[in-house]
């Protein structure tokens, strides 16, 4: 079959590669590939540390995708001959004061049902990451939460897809000539597709260079709760650091308050961070769904949508690509998953 895919963010690109692997042809349309959420993302593959209360439909998808990731990333790296930035570096989640420690302890009780989690004293955490400052009062160690560099991963996918990526915007899916159309355009509403309840949730991300004398500043992803606010520091293989991420539903530009908050909170956990140089500040929107679970399904005989990946789209892109391909090809998906991801599951839109 020939598929037209609208959107070359991580979801459209992974879906295109999955369909190619299954022997189909694809044309991917995007005026600016990898320019929206996938451009900003830190790339944490964190099914355990991302767990929050009351999202039972999200956990299984995150776990499934995490399991599928190594093989999918390996196949892309091997076929393209490019580094996709997949690292099995672990994750530490730190508490910034005793109230944050209570929050962290409560969450850890839930995380323990989902994956491997070890509670650490501040001293044990500092033994693992000597850059942690005196502000850290306790931590949890999550060895199975890894990372990928979304920019490298998407660059490898783009190179594999080559001329199949057409740098044009699609106004209306009915104008495309293909056996089936997949709409993976994040927040964009495309003509011919029913309006779905997807909303922008903006986040700021800083990219920093670490001076030679501080290398490596940290060797694991360090996440923290500081006075109730989340912050993370993701060390890349090239010695740089990604620092994020704020969350707001208004003002798309890089927020002065957001940048201040990120630097202040990260400094509380890792004081050496203030010796680093900022080389990029980015703000982009996460495509959020009302229950934080993606919306994947057929909206007509010839059109399948795949959006609403919210704050987990890098992690979920692999399972999302496989489910999108199955649904577009008319293959069965287990009923529980199908119900969880149904784009029409929200009452007011059914
Ligand atoms: C600050 C930040 C940090 C994040 N960190 C993480 C993380 O650590 N881990 C994680 O798992 N997730 C993370 N995410 C979430 C993740 O980035 C998103 O869920 C994911 O990138 C969504 O991918 P997508 O392909 O659906 O959308 P996008 O990446 O937004 O791509 C949509 C594409 O559609 C294209 N498009 C739009 N309109 C049209 C049109 N008319 N025709 C053709 N193409 C069109 C756009 O140009 C764009 O390239 C983060 C997000 C943000 C913003």
pLDDT of residue 53: 82
* pLDDT for residue 26 is more than 60: yes
265 three-state secondary structure: helix
Please tell me the distance between residue 116's alpha carbon and the centre of ligand 1 in angstroms. 29
List, for residues 260-308, the tens digit of each pLDDT value.
999 999 999 999 999 999 999 999 999 999 999 999 999 999 999 999 9
Whether 178 lines ligand 1, by a CB cut-off of 6 Å, is no
Confidence of residue 54 (pLDDT cuts 50, 70, 90): confident
* pLDDT for residue 348 is more than 90: no
Q: What average pLDDT score do residues 217-222 get?
A: 98
pLDDT of residue 114: 86
User: Where do runs of H (alpha helix) occur along 137-199?
Assistant: 150-161
Using CA positions, which residue lies closest to atom 35 of ligand 1?
A: 7
- Ligand 1: which atom is nearest the Cα of residue 185? 34
Q: What average pLDDT score do residues 114-138 get?
A: 96
Q: What average pLDDT score do residues 232-252 get?
A: 96
Cβ–Cβ under 8 Å, residues 287 and 187: yes
Cβ neighbors of 56 (< 8 A, separation 6 or more) are: none
3-state secondary structure labels for all residues of 32-84: CCCCCHHHHCCCEECCCCCCCCCCCCHHHHHHHHHHHHHHHHHHHHHHHCCCC
Report which of residues 50 and 324 the model is more confident about: 324
Report which of residues 219 and 50 the model is more confident about: 219
The Cα–Cα gap between 303 and 28 comes to 14
Whether 242 lines ligand 1, by a CB cut-off of 6 Å, is no
DSSP string, 184-217: --TT---BTS-----EEEEEEEEEEEPPGGG-SS
Residue matched to tokens 């959107």: 7
Q: Average pLDDT, whole number, for the chain?
A: 96
The Cα–Cα gap between 313 and 50 comes to 12
**DSSP bridge pairs for 45:** 146
Percent above pLDDT 70 for the chain? 99
- Ligand 1: which atom is nearest the Cα of residue 246? 1
Cβ–Cβ under 8 Å, residues 31 and 168: yes
The Cα–Cα gap between 213 and 211 comes to 6
* Phi, psi dihedrals of residue 31, rounded to the nearest 5°: -70, -30
User: Where do runs of H (alpha helix) occur along 292-334?
Assistant: 313-328
**What are the structural domains, with CATH classification, of the chain?**
2-83+148-198+289-349 (3.50.50.60), 91-143+200-288 (3.30.9.10)
Q: What is the largest CA-CA distance in the chain?
A: 62
Number of other residues whose CB lies within 10 A of the CB of residue 223: 24
Cβ neighbors of 101 (< 8 A, separation 6 or more) are: 95, 137, 138
pLDDT of residue 167: 98
36 three-state secondary structure: coil
Q: What average pLDDT score do residues 74-97 get?
A: 97
Using CA positions, which residue lies closest to atom 20 of ligand 1?
A: 313
268 three-state secondary structure: helix
250 three-state secondary structure: coil
* pLDDT for residue 85 is more than 60: yes
Ramachandran category for residue 3: left, alpha or beta (phi over 0 → left; psi -120 to 50 → alpha): beta
**DSSP bridge pairs for 91:** 142, 221
Percent above pLDDT 90 for the chain? 95
* pLDDT for residue 86 is more than 70: yes
Using CA positions, which residue lies closest to atom 5 of ligand 1?
A: 41
Ligand 1 pocket mutation, candidates 171, 185, 189, criterion most atoms within 8 A of CB: 185
pLDDT of residue 350: 45
The Cα–Cα gap between 188 and 52 comes to 27
């Amino acid at each position: 079959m020939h598929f037209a895919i609208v959107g070359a963010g991580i979801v459209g690109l992974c879906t295109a590669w999955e369909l190619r692997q299954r022997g189909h042809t694809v044309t991917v349309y995007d005026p600016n590939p990898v320019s929206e959420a996938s451009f900003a993302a830190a790339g944490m593959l964190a099914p355990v540390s991302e767990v929050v209360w009351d999202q039972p439909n999200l956990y299984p998808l995150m776990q499934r995708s995490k399991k599928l990731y190594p093989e999918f990333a390996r196949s892309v790296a091997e076929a393209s001959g490019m580094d996709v930035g997949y690292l099995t570096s672990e994750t530490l989640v730190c508490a910034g004061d005793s109230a944050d420690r209570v929050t962290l302890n409560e969450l850890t009780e839930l995380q323990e049902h989902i994956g491997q989690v070890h509670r650490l004293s501040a001293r044990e955490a500092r033994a693992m990451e000597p850059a942690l400052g005196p502000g850290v009062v306790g931590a949890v160690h999550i060895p199975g939460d890894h990372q990928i560099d979304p920019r490298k991963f998407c660059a490898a996918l783009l190179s594999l897809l080559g001329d199949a990526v057409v740098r044009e915007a699609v106004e209306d899916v009915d104008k495309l000539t293909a056996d089936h159309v997949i709409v993976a355009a994040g927040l964009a509403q495309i003509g011919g597709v029913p309006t779905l309840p997807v909303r922008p949730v903006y986040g700021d991300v800083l990219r920093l260079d670490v001076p030679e004398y501080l290398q490596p500043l940290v060797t694991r992803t360090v996440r923290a709760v500081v006075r109730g606010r989340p912050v993370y520091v993701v060390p890349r293989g090239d010695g740089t650091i990604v620092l994020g991420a704020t969350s707001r539903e208004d003002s798309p530009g890089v927020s002065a308050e957001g940048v201040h908050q990120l630097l202040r909170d990260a400094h509380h956990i890792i004081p050496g961070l203030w010796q680093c140089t900022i080389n990029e500040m980015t703000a982009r929107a996460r495509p959020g769904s009302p229950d934080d679970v993606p919306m994947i399904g057929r909206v007509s005989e010839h059109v399948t949508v795949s959006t609403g990946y919210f704050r987990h789209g890098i992690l979920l892109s692999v399972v999302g690509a496989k489910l999108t391909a199955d649904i577009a090809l008319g293959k069965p998906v287990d009923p529980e998953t199908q119900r969880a991801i149904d784009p029409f599951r929200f009452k007011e839109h059914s």
